[in-house]
Amino acid sequence: MAQRFLGDLPERHANLIKSRQPNSVLQAQRLFAASAPITGTLAERYLASRGIDDGANIAALRFHPRCFYWPDEDAPKQSFPAMIARVTDADGAITGVHRTWLHSGLHSGLRPGGAPAQPSVMDRRAMGFLLGHGVRFGENCDVAVAGEGVETTLSLRCALPTLPLIAALSASHLGALLFPAGLRRLYVAQDDDAAGDHAFARLSERGGETGVEIIGLRPARDDFNSDLRDLGPDHLRRIVRAQLAAADANAFAVG
């Protein structure tokens, strides 16, 4: 499927992707190896500010205190703290990384009432070969959930704590996600926009070709992280459970 997707691109762009892949994948593997667990870091604080409190237990996420950053091609190299997400194929091989550069929030001082300012996102960029792959949380099984962003996908862990999840990192990459061997049902966490609808339609078409059942999961607001933060984890569980097949709601211990 990834090869078919490349075949749909103009030849010049498809060749550029192929030529850059080996070097960028190696760079991604080195960056992840040079990063540290996120426990006690700015990355853990950032996830907590998004309502995701168990980030320290996620093997696919690491932290680099001085990750190189270029605002544009002509700008000098800089370095900032970043959350590093590991992109893998279905067999667990690292094919890329996703970098989320973070502001500490210290420059903002205190919020009204004396609360410290929260970390914020400075920029996001991926590196390596992403097409068909994603940031994986949990081991492969015959049922999984796929979404776009890391934060959106992780938000579903409070409702689906034992179900494998995959963050494809964009709507276009979500639509091109390669199905792991043995997958029989894929839930798709749809952002409430046209790009999310298009990704779901592409996956549904491919699922029909391969025998994988595709079921959409809709947030109450614009995405599931907004649901988690604004409505709370208990409400999010109810939203998700109502959209699951009954067998999955029971098997994966949704509260």
The predicted-structure confidence for 145-178, as pLDDT tens digits, reads as follows 999 999 999 999 888 888 999 999 999 999 999 9
pLDDT above 90: percentage of residues in the chain: 69
Indicate the number of domains in the chain.
Answer: 1
- Whole-model pTM? 0.87
pLDDT, tens digit, for every residue of 195-213?
A: 989 999 999 999 999 999 9
pLDDT at 13 > cutoff 50: no
Instruction: Give the model's confidence band at 115: pLDDT under 50 very low, under 70 low, under 90 confident, else very high.
Output: low
pLDDT for position 253: 55
Locate 69 and state its tokens: 């950053």
pLDDT for res 15: 44
Confidence of residue 1 (pLDDT cuts 50, 70, 90): very low
- State the residue range of the domain holding 20: 2-251
- Of the listed ranges 38-47, 199-208, 232-241, the least confidently predicted one is 232-241
pLDDT of residue 160: 85
Q: What is the pLDDT of residues 53-65, one digit of tens each?
A: 888 889 999 999 9
What pLDDT band is residue 7 in, cutting at 50, 70 and 90? very low
**Amino acid 74: pLDDT:** 83
More confident residue, 190 or 5: 190
In 148-245, where do the E strands start and end?
A: 165-167, 185-189, 213-217
Q: Across all residues in the chain, what is the average pLDDT?
A: 87
Amino acid 254: pLDDT: 57
6: confidence class by pLDDT, cuts 50, 70, 90: very low
Q: What is the CATH classification number for the domain harbouring 207? A: 3.40.1360.10
Contacts within 8 Å (CB) and 24+ apart, 140-144: 140/90, 140/164, 140/180, 140/181, 140/182, 140/183, 141/182, 142/182, 142/183, 142/184, 142/185, 143/183, 143/184, 143/185, 143/186, 143/187, 143/248, 143/251, 143/252, 144/180, 144/183, 144/185, 144/186, 144/187
